[in-house]
Amino acid sequence: MVPDLFFSPFIFLLGLAIGSFLNAVIHRLQTEEKLFPGRSHCPHCRHKLAAKDLIPLISYLLLKGRCRYCKKPISLQYPLVELATGLLFVAVLQYTAPLFIFNPAVIFQSPLVFFVGTGTFLYYLLLISFLTVIFVYDLKHHIIPDKIIYPAIVLAALFRLFQSATIKWHQDFDLWDMGSGAAHFLTNPFFAGLGAALFFYAIFAFSRGKWMGFGDVKLALLMGLVLGFPLVLVALFTAFLTGAAMGLGLVLLKQKNMKSEVPFGPFLVAGTFIALFWGQQIIDWYWHLLW
């Protein structure tokens, strides 16, 4: 097996480039500009940016966080999203390493396993991209865009169908160890998504949208499809715990009051990332404390 560490720098650079693209998606969703075609431009002076202005992270540092043309500050969102996407892409590489997606021997010995592994890797990269956009957009505008959440739900559902159809070819891998049999790979995440969505819908209906937006209901469905049970519980617990802590901290610092609106989507996305990459370790640690 070719060490996945060898590929980490390349995947990180890919993540930086995709992060730059995601920043454009976030901006154009808000302005309702067409994503394709169209040159990137400064949001202040609207000057079209040259290639040297669009190098992920590097351009921001060289320009000292200011537009080359109007000298107005560039939002810190841009380098942070690029950096976060790069790091998350590397995390995906580490997470999918058991599928040996980059092992040249697998291509010849078992092309189907190579196909499944590569498909899984690309799926998680797409998923991370969708979730990153949801995180930033909800944080900025307090809304989860349907143009992002619906394709993400469809993607997750299709992946579960793909996963259940191909499970018999990789029983030796631990990555998809949620149970036995193709049926389990379908029923587990779909019931987890339905259960999470119904729970959030109950909160939404009871509060008449004051405690929870309907976008969070759709995001809960996505979380269940992505994580399955019991990892979705880890994600939800983490989201509620961190959301409550952050809300209380903002109130104590007098940045918010008890009636202020705090978007919950970013906490749900962060909880999803934590459960995806470290959820099983958290569950094992918790059971160890109990027993």
| Each residue's pLDDT tens digit, 245-281 | 887 787 777 666 656 677 889 999 999 999 999 988 8
Backbone angles phi, psi at 39, to 5 degrees: -85, 145
Q: Is the pLDDT of residue 127 over 70?
A: yes
- With respect to residue 150, please indicate whether it lies within any of the assigned structural domains: no
Q: What is the dihedral of CA 278, 280, 285, 287, to 10 degrees?
A: 160
Query: Looking at the DSSP assignment, which residues form a beta bridge with residue 66?
Result: 73
Residues 201 and 67 in one domain: no
Residues 219 and 275 in one domain: yes
Residues 133 and 175 in one domain: no
Q: Average of pLDDT values for 198-207?
A: 92
- Taking the CA of residue 283 as centre, how many other CA atoms within 13 Å lie in the half-sphere pointing to its CB? 14
153-159: which pairs have CB atoms within 8 A and are 24 or more residues apart? 153/218, 153/221, 153/222, 153/225, 155/123, 155/126, 155/127, 155/130, 156/127, 156/189, 156/222, 156/225, 156/226, 157/190, 157/225, 159/120, 159/123
- With respect to residue 148, please indicate whether it lies within any of the assigned structural domains: no
Q: Strand ranges (DSSP E) for the chain?
A: none
Q: Average of pLDDT values for 8-31?
A: 91
Residues 183 and 221 in one domain: yes
- Structural domain boundaries, residue 37: 1-140
- With respect to residue 121, please indicate whether it lies within any of the assigned structural domains: yes
State how far the Cα of 178 lies from the Cα of 185, in Å rounded to an integer.
7
Residues 91 and 206 in one domain: no
Residues 129 and 40 in one domain: yes
Domains in the chain: how many in total? Answer: 2
Least confident of 22-36, 74-88, 243-257: 243-257
DSSP state of 255: S
Question: What pLDDT sits at residue 202?
Answer: 94
Residues 172 and 277 in one domain: yes
Q: Average of pLDDT values for 17-23?
A: 93
Q: What is the dihedral of CA 76, 87, 221, 98, to 10 degrees?
A: 180
Picking from 140, 173, 205, the residue at the C-terminal end of a domain is 140
Residues 221 and 89 in one domain: no
pLDDT tier at 80 (50, 70, 90 boundaries)? very high
State how far the Cα of 257 lies from the Cα of 181, in Å rounded to an integer.
50
Picking from 140, 172, 188, the residue at the C-terminal end of a domain is 140
Residues 127 and 240 in one domain: no
- With respect to residue 171, please indicate whether it lies within any of the assigned structural domains: yes
- With respect to residue 149, please indicate whether it lies within any of the assigned structural domains: no
* pLDDT, averaged across the chain: 82
User: What is the number of other CB atoms lying within 10 angstroms of the CB of residue 95?
Assistant: 17
Q: Is the pLDDT of residue 153 over 80?
A: yes
Question: What pLDDT sits at residue 268?
Answer: 95
- With respect to residue 80, please indicate whether it lies within any of the assigned structural domains: yes
Residues 127 and 14 in one domain: yes
State how far the Cα of 58 lies from the Cα of 183, in Å rounded to an integer.
47
Residues 131 and 222 in one domain: no
Predicted TM-score (pTM) of the model is 0.86
91 or 111, greater pLDDT: 91
- With respect to residue 146, please indicate whether it lies within any of the assigned structural domains: no
pLDDT tier at 241 (50, 70, 90 boundaries)? very high
Q: Is the pLDDT of residue 234 over 80?
A: yes
Coil/strand/helix, residue 102:
coil
Residues 220 and 125 in one domain: no
- With respect to residue 184, please indicate whether it lies within any of the assigned structural domains: yes
Q: Average of pLDDT values for 125-146?
A: 95
Picking from 109, 140, 171, the residue at the C-terminal end of a domain is 140
